[in-house]
Chain A
Amino acid sequence: MSGIGSGEGFWNPIVWTLLALGVLGLAYALWLQGRRTYKRGTEQEEPFLSGERLPEEGSHIRGEHLYWGFVAGLRPLIETLRAFHTGFIGDYIGWLVVVLGVAILVVML
């Protein structure tokens, strides 16, 4: 009913969900075993960002800065891809012709 067979794999979301809940419960139980050093009203409640105290008016890392390092690492590839999306209609048509050519070539072989 729930699972799907895929040849050799096994996927049953109900089992998975129960397992996930079990693991979460286990983690919670382990967490409860820990020492309780949390105190209200102390410095522990202050928000920090990379070890710096947050400015008064608050601060928000905007979405475009997420994964900055990852994107920076891939920059050559991504810049190539962005340059490839020129937005010029002639290029769109050109790539359609390329796809058509590849398709016909493969079919002919």
Chain B
Amino acid sequence: MPFVVCMLLIAIGLFTLLVRRNLIKLVIGITIIENGVNLFLVSLGYVRNAVAPIYTYAPPGASRMVFPTPQALTLTAIVIGLATTALMLAFVVVIYRHQGTLDGGKIRELKG
């Protein structure tokens, strides 16, 4: 079930990227795809009826823990995603200062 949500998020993000022209909305679309992928990663480690993977806090008698590696991976991916999003937004700001528009269809100094 969570995988369906992930694919839905990725599809929504891709749809945003293909349909919207506003640069900020493009960045939002990428973030949505990113969230979909991250959700996918973190749900890979889910184990039904398991406890949080904290070694020292595990209640007595708990036999199963959620798989912690995907959480570490997701965290890294989130950090990287944050860096790319910040960089992209910075470029959007600069582009707006130079060209006075956020319409991707008009920001076409480089073509042909």
Cβ contact of B104, chosen from A85, A88, A97, cutoff 8 A: A88
Q: In the assembly, what is the distance between CA of A82 and CA of B110, in Å?
A: 12
Residues of B within 8 A of A88 (CB): 104-105, 108, 111
CB distance from B52 to the nearest CB of A (A): 36
User: Which chain B residue has the least Cβ–Cβ distance from A96?
Assistant: B17
Q: In the assembly, what is the distance between CA of A90 and CA of B17, in Å?
A: 7
Cβ contact of B112, chosen from A82, A89, A94, cutoff 8 A: A82
A87 within 8 A of B: yes
The tally of residues in B whose CB lies under 8 Å from a CB in A reads 15
**Could you give, for residues 2-41 of chain B, a 1 whenever the CB lies within 8 Å of some chain A CB and a 0 otherwise?**
0000000000001001101101001000000000000000
A93 within 8 A of B: yes
Across chains A and B, the number of contacting residue pairs, with CB separation under 8 Å, is 29
Whether the Cβ atoms of B110 and A90 lie closer than 8 Å is no
CB distance from A74 to the nearest CB of B (A): 15
CB distance from A42 to the nearest CB of B (A): 48
CB distance from B3 to the nearest CB of A (A): 17
**Could you give, for residues 82-104 of chain A, a 1 whenever the CB lies within 8 Å of some chain B CB and a 0 otherwise?**
10011111100110010000000
Whether the Cβ atoms of B111 and A85 lie closer than 8 Å is yes
**Could you give, for residues 99-112 of chain B, a 1 whenever the CB lies within 8 Å of some chain A CB and a 0 otherwise?**
00000110111111
Whether the Cβ atoms of A85 and B112 lie closer than 8 Å is yes
Whether the Cβ atoms of A87 and B110 lie closer than 8 Å is yes
Interface residues of A (CB under 8 A from B): 82, 85-90, 93-94, 97
A-B contacts, 13 of them at CB < 8 A, read A82-B112, A85-B111, A87-B108, A87-B109, A87-B110, A87-B111, A87-B112, A88-B108, A89-B26, A90-B20, A93-B17, A93-B18, A97-B18
